[in-house]
Amino acid sequence: MIGPLHQSLSSRVASLRALLSLTGLAVLLLAGCEAHDETPSRFRSSYHQGDYEVGLGYSQAVKVGKTIYISMTLPVDQQGQLIAPDDMAGQLGAVYTNLATTLKANGAAFEHVAVERIYTTDMPALLKLADQRLKVYSKDSLPAASFIEVKHLADPGFLVGVEVVAELP
């Protein structure tokens, strides 16, 4: 017959073994985390076209590795003021000019654009001007593109905005 003292000691030994097992497991897990932390992180940088973007809480572009994610580019000047009110052609031209500036600031050009999303409040007017895109993109290397009509953009005066993803070689 086992006495209470022996049961208590047996219980303590079992608890100690369990604790040691858990400690060993924790060490193994942490060792795996340390190995993961040794992997170099991808370079990340951001770009602002104007100071107004910082005030609004976003970056015009973020570069991660060789990929550049460009926020919706709008027809605005350096102060964030609307260019070409009520003029789809003028606004689309301003958008592509701003995109060229952002791409260049990140070491890219329109030839590096892989994805393009065009948002508009007036699809028929945009489609009449779709050939303007061919002034910036080569017919041989057009990006994957989506034309999306929305009720309105960030400002009621905006008729069009373009968002792109570019990949550097």
Partners of residue 160 on adjacent β-strands: 120
Rounded to an integer, what distance in angstroms lies between the CA atom of residue 164 and that of residue 169? 16
Q: What angle do CA 100, 103, 105 make, to 5 degrees?
A: 105
| Comparison of pLDDT for 58 and 75, the residue scoring more | 75
pLDDT, tens digit, 9 for 90 and up, residues 3-12 = 554 455 455 5
Q: What is the pLDDT of residue 37?
A: 42
Which CATH code, of 3.30.70.1560, 3.10.180.10, 3.30.1330.40, 2.60.40.1180, is assigned to 44-167? 3.30.1330.40
CB-CB contact of 97 with 74 (8 Å): no
Q: Is 50 exposed, middle or buried (0-12, 13-18, 19+ CB in 10 A)?
A: middle
| Comparison of pLDDT for 23 and 135, the residue scoring more | 135
CB-CB contact of 47 with 60 (8 Å): yes
Segments making up each domain of the chain, as ranges: 1-39, 44-167
pLDDT, tens digit, 9 for 90 and up, residues 117-144 = 999 999 999 999 999 999 999 999 899 9
Does residue 116 carry a pLDDT above 90? yes
